[in-house]
């Protein structure tokens, strides 16, 4: 079921089909964010130790920063969706109590 061409574009395709909770997505994104940040720190350490050329460092860092941006944006969207869902659920519960 996973697409062959660009799996990151369809990262949550199967999760959405199977109904995986937003909490699991948020947890996964938080772990992914931590991993990317750790990779950036490791890259900077390797560069400071002289193990990477400036061009390699710049190229790898740009890729990691792009990935971090994507993960942070996905995390923000998931959190907003969760908050909206919670507000809707509270509103429904309040309306049920009024009846």
Q: What is the pLDDT of residues 44-72, one digit of tens each?
A: 999 999 999 999 999 999 999 999 999 99
Q: Is the pLDDT of residue 18 over 60?
A: no
Residues 6+ apart with CB under 8 A from 11: 74
pLDDT at 2: 41
pLDDT at 25: 86
pLDDT at 96: 83
**Angle, in degrees to the nearest 10, between helices 22-48 and 54-98:** 160
Local structure of 6: helix, strand or coil: coil
Rounded-to-integer distance, Cα 85 and Cα 64, Å: 31
Q: Is the pLDDT of residue 95 over 60?
A: yes
The band of 5, judged by pLDDT with boundaries at 50, 70 and 90, is very low
pLDDT at 10: 53
């Amino acid at each position: 079921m996973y697409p062959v061409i660009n799996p990151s574009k369809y990262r949550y395709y199967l999760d959405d089909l199977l109904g995986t909770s937003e909490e699991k997505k948020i947890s996964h994104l938080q772990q992914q964010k931590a991993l990317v940040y750790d990779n950036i720190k490791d890259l900077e350490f390797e560069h400071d130790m002289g193990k990477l050329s400036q061009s390699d460092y710049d190229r790898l860092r740009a890729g990691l920063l792009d990935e971090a941006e994507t993960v942070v944006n996905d995390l923000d969207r998931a959190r907003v969706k969760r908050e909206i869902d919670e507000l809707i659920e509270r509103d429904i519960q309040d309306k049920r109590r009024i009846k």
